[in-house]
């Protein structure tokens, strides 16, 4: 890392988005969730991965939006796509067909095996909080080659036990996916605002592999609802470069201008 | 055979109390004007089917049209909750709401099965998740060739499909382009269908040979409602009113602000207001 190009002032969310973007490769075909995943995927496309294929579940394939979409089907996504297919075709041929290398998801809650809940807090019939539900996630989680997850670390989000499993991570540990006949890798990275976690190769439990600059192990444990495991060698996550931050901030500024004035 | 009529006549003729109704449009081309007409006509006990209930079903649920919701993602995209949906499900206001919840893949497959005149859809999904425990319609079948266990859901066969399209021609053929979602499948799966359009043209003229066209003999009624998808959008006509989607959060959060908005903008209004709203979005974007 060139020190002169390294930013010293950035927010935890910017650190998270930049780290998530760096996980993507130029040759990936990526199924993009809305919100934080969308920002990371487009940052990757505008920096180190100009050749990445971004796919949104509304049917837009190889889309290159100038501004971040508010919804999964903003006109911007269709206008800048190589092609747009119907929603049944998207889920049948492209997702189930095994054409997607990475699914990029967020969630409301996650457990230590990277199972996700976006359905309900409390009981299903008498919920404390009714969340939007699964959408595309249940099939994205099992039909993409691997899954990256981006979520802010907090005790309400990183919980010991999920009230509802909306999409499958590593189930209850080693062998869970295989027992269900699932052949894809599942979650391989969870990128948070404090650290990066990856499933331990043997136990499949999420394990901290890198810690963002200035963050302590105690801070991470304080925001996580289960006893956190740390890898034998924990790295420091490289901070954002000025270029990455400039591109990300300009993307957010363009987006705010585009979404602000049409009520 | 598509008959061109007013939106009020189309809803009167084809949507009855207790019907199952699929008003589709995946973010794009959501038939808001038709939804408002169903509300004005006071339809009750509807089973509302839609992948993403969006603001349109939030409004219909809050106005007491729905008995049951069949859906796969129930939020305000990029904004937050659908407050009227949550109030109905969590508190039974204005009436209790049953739900049948799926994933997007399941509903897309179920519409396709309906259009294909099959009894159920089969796909590789719902693996290792809890939804099958709370939705008895999610089942499985063993592949007779490979032994693989695959998920099944019943085909969606609505009484009525309602969509908004870009244009119709004089013969009543209907054209959609852009993000086309599951609208073609919904119309072909339904017993009856209503299509609102931005305009009727003499002839579609030059177009892609693969544009999505619903022939006039697949559609029951066509109503011309310029701007009829606002605050959703119509490809080439007007943009999505993302600002309104954000504003809806505050409008719908409380029952009284919601009812005041619905009274002013739906009950006391008609389909003609949509053209003005869509023009305002276009002007703001220009």
pLDDT in tens, A161-208: 999 999 999 999 999 999 999 999 999 999 999 999 999 999 999 999
Nearest to A70 among B26, B86, B245 (CB): B245
Q: Locate A104 and state its tokens.
A: 């990029």
Q: Is residue A259 domain-resident? A: no
Give the closest-approach CA distance of B242 to chain A in angstroms.
6
Q: Is residue B128 domain-resident? A: no
Query: Would you state the pLDDT for residue A34?
Result: 79
Tell me if B242 and A74 make a contact (CB, 8 A cut-off). Answer: yes
Domain that holds residue B188: 3-102+157-285
Tell me the chain A residues in contact with residue B25 when contact means C-beta distances shorter than 8 Å. Answer: none
Q: How far apart are the first and last CA of chain A?
A: 44
Quick check: A186 and A146 in contact, CB under 8 A? yes
Q: What does the alpha-carbon distance between residue B189 and residue B90 come to, in Å, rounded to a whole number?
A: 31
Inform me whether the pLDDT recorded for A260 exceeds 70.
Answer: no
Taking phi first (over 0 means left), then psi (-120 to 50 degrees means alpha), and beta for anything else, what does residue A130 get? Answer: beta
Q: Is residue B199 domain-resident? A: yes
**CATH of residue B19:** 3.40.1080.10
Instruction: For residue A101, give the DSSP letter.
Output: S
Q: Is residue A262 domain-resident? A: no
Inform me whether the pLDDT recorded for A229 exceeds 80.
Answer: yes
Tell me if A135 and B103 make a contact (CB, 8 A cut-off). Answer: yes
Q: Would an 8 Å CB–CB cutoff place A173 in contact with chain B?
A: no
Tell me if B130 and A60 make a contact (CB, 8 A cut-off). Answer: no
Q: Is residue A261 domain-resident? A: no
Give the closest-approach CA distance of B231 to chain A in angstroms.
9
Q: Report mean pLDDT in 10-residue bins for chain B, 286 residues.
A: 94 98 97 98 98 98 98 95 96 97 98 98 98 98 97 98 97 96 98 98 92 96 98 95 95 98 97 92 72
Q: What does the alpha-carbon distance between residue A148 and residue A136 come to, in Å, rounded to a whole number?
A: 15
Q: What does the alpha-carbon distance between residue B69 and residue A218 come to, in Å, rounded to a whole number?
A: 45
Q: Would an 8 Å CB–CB cutoff place B147 in contact with chain A?
A: no
Tell me the chain B residues in contact with residue A258 when contact means C-beta distances shorter than 8 Å. Answer: 242
Q: What does the alpha-carbon distance between residue B105 and residue A88 come to, in Å, rounded to a whole number?
A: 7
- Average pLDDT of A12-17? 98
Long-range Cβ pairs for the range A228-231 (8 Å, 24+): A229/A200, A229/A205, A231/A198, A231/A200, A231/A207
Taking phi first (over 0 means left), then psi (-120 to 50 degrees means alpha), and beta for anything else, what does residue A155 get? Answer: alpha
Q: What does the alpha-carbon distance between residue A191 and residue A210 come to, in Å, rounded to a whole number?
A: 10
State how many domains chain A has: 1
Mapped onto helix, strand or coil, the DSSP state of residue B59 is helix
Tell me if B27 and A73 make a contact (CB, 8 A cut-off). Answer: yes
Query: Would you state the pLDDT for residue A5?
Result: 64
Q: Is residue B48 domain-resident? A: yes
- How many inter-chain contacts (A to B, CB under 8 Å) are there? 196
How many CB atoms are closer than 10 A to CB A44? Answer: 26
Query: Would you state the pLDDT for residue B223?
Result: 98
- Average pLDDT of A32-57? 95
Domain that holds residue A200: 3-254
Tell me if A87 and B244 make a contact (CB, 8 A cut-off). Answer: no
Strand partners, A226: none
Q: Locate B238 and state its tokens.
A: 């007007």
pLDDT digits (tens, 9 = 90+) for A146-165: 999 999 999 999 999 999 99
Q: Is residue B37 domain-resident? A: yes
Sheet containing strand B120-123, strands side by side:
B120-123, B149-154, B139-142
Tell me if B128 and A259 make a contact (CB, 8 A cut-off). Answer: no
**Cα B284 off chain centre by:** 26
- Given the residues A14, A57, A76, A244, select the one marked as catalytic: A57
Q: Is residue A238 domain-resident? A: yes
Tell me if B78 and A84 make a contact (CB, 8 A cut-off). Answer: no
Preferred mutation among A39, A79, A115, A139 to probe B, highest tally of B CBs within 10 A: A139
CA-to-CA dists, residue B273 to B39, B40, B223, B268, B284, angstroms: 15, 14, 15, 11, 17
Q: What does the alpha-carbon distance between residue B166 and residue A51 come to, in Å, rounded to a whole number?
A: 33
Q: Which of residues 201-260 of A touch B (CB under 8 A)?
A: 258-260
Inform me whether the pLDDT recorded for A262 exceeds 60.
Answer: no
- Average pLDDT of A115-143? 96
Inform me whether the pLDDT recorded for A226 exceeds 50.
Answer: yes
Tell me if A86 and B182 make a contact (CB, 8 A cut-off). Answer: yes
Catalytic residue check, A76:
no
**CATH of residue A224:** 3.40.1080.10
State how many domains chain B has: 1
Q: What does the alpha-carbon distance between residue A250 and residue A116 come to, in Å, rounded to a whole number?
A: 31
DSSP state string for B90-107: HH--SS--EEEE--HHHH
Q: Which of residues 154-173 of B touch A (CB under 8 A)?
A: none
Q: What does the alpha-carbon distance between residue A112 and residue A133 come to, in Å, rounded to a whole number?
A: 20
Mapped onto helix, strand or coil, the DSSP state of residue B225 is coil
Collect all residues with Cβ–Cβ distance below 8 Å to A239 and sequence separation of at least 6: A1, A6, A7, A8, A10, A15, A212, A213
Q: Locate A245 and state its tokens.
A: 């931050």
């Amino acid at each position: 890392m060139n020190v002169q190009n390294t930013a010293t002032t950035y927010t935890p969310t910017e650190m998270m988005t930049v780290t998530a973007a760096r996980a993507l490769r130029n040759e990936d075909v990526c199924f993009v969730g809305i919100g934080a995943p969308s920002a990371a995927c487009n940052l990757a496309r505008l920096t180190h991965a100009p050749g990445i294929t971004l796919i949104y579940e509304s049917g837009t394939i190889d889309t290159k939006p100038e501004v971040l979409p508010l919804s999964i089907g903003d006109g911007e996504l269709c206008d800048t796509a190589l092609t747009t297919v119907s929603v049944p075709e998207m889920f049948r041929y492209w997702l189930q067909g095994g054409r997607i290398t990475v699914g990029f998801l967020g969630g409301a809650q996650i457990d230590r095996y990277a199972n996700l809940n976006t359905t309900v807090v409390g009981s299903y019939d008498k919920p404390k909080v009714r969340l939007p539900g699964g959408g595309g996630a249940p099939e994205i989680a099992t039909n993409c080659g691997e899954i990256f997850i981006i979520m802010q670390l907090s005790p309400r989000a990183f919980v010991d036990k999920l009230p509802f499993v909306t999409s499958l991570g590593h189930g209850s540990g080693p062998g869970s996916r295989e027992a269900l006949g699932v052949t894809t890798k599942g979650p391989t990275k969870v990128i948070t605002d404090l650290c990066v976690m990856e499933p331990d190769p043997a136990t499949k439990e999420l394990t901290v592999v890198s810690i963002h600059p200035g963050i302590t192990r105690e801070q991470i444990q304080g925001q996580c609802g289960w006893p956190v495991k740390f890898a034998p060698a924990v790295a420091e996550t490289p901070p954002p470069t000025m270029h990455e931050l400039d591109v990300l901030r300009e993307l957010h500024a363009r987006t705010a201008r585009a979404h602000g004035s049409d009520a | 055979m598509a008959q061109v009529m007013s939106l009020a006549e189309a809803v009167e003729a084809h949507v009855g109390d207790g019907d199952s109704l699929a008003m589709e449009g995946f973010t794009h081309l959501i038939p808001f004007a038709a939804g408002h007409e169903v509300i004005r006509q006071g339809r009750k006990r509807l089973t509302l089917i839609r992948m993403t209930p969006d603001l349109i079903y939030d409004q219909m649920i809050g106005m007491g049209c729905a008995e049951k919701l069949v859906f796969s993602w129930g939020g305000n995209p990029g904004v937050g909750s659908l407050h009227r949906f949550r109030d109905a499900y969590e508190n039974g206001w204005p009436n209790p709401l049953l739900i049948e919840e799926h994933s997007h893949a399941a509903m897309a497959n179920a519409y396709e099965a309906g259009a294909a005149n099959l009894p159920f859809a089969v796909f590789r999904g719902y693996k290792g998740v809890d939804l099958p425990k709370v939705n008895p319609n999610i089942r499985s079948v063993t592949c007779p060739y490979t032994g693989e266990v695959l998920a099944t859901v019943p085909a969606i066969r609505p009484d009525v499909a309602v969509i908004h399209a870009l244009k119709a021609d004089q013969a009543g053929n209907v054209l959609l382009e852009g993000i086309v979602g599951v609208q073609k499948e919904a119309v072909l799966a339904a017993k009856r269908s209503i299509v609102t359009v931005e305009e009727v043209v003499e002839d579609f003229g030059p177009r892609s040979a693969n544009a999505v066209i619903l022939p006039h003999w697949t559609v029951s009624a066509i109503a011309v409602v310029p701007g009829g998808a606002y605050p959703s959008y119509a490809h080439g006509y007007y943009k999505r009113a993302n600002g309104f989607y954000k504003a809806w959060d505050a409008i719908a959060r409380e029952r009284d602000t919601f009812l005041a908005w619905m009274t002013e903008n739906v009950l006391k209004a008609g389909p003609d207001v949509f053209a003005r709203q869509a023009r305002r979005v276009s002007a703001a974007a220009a």
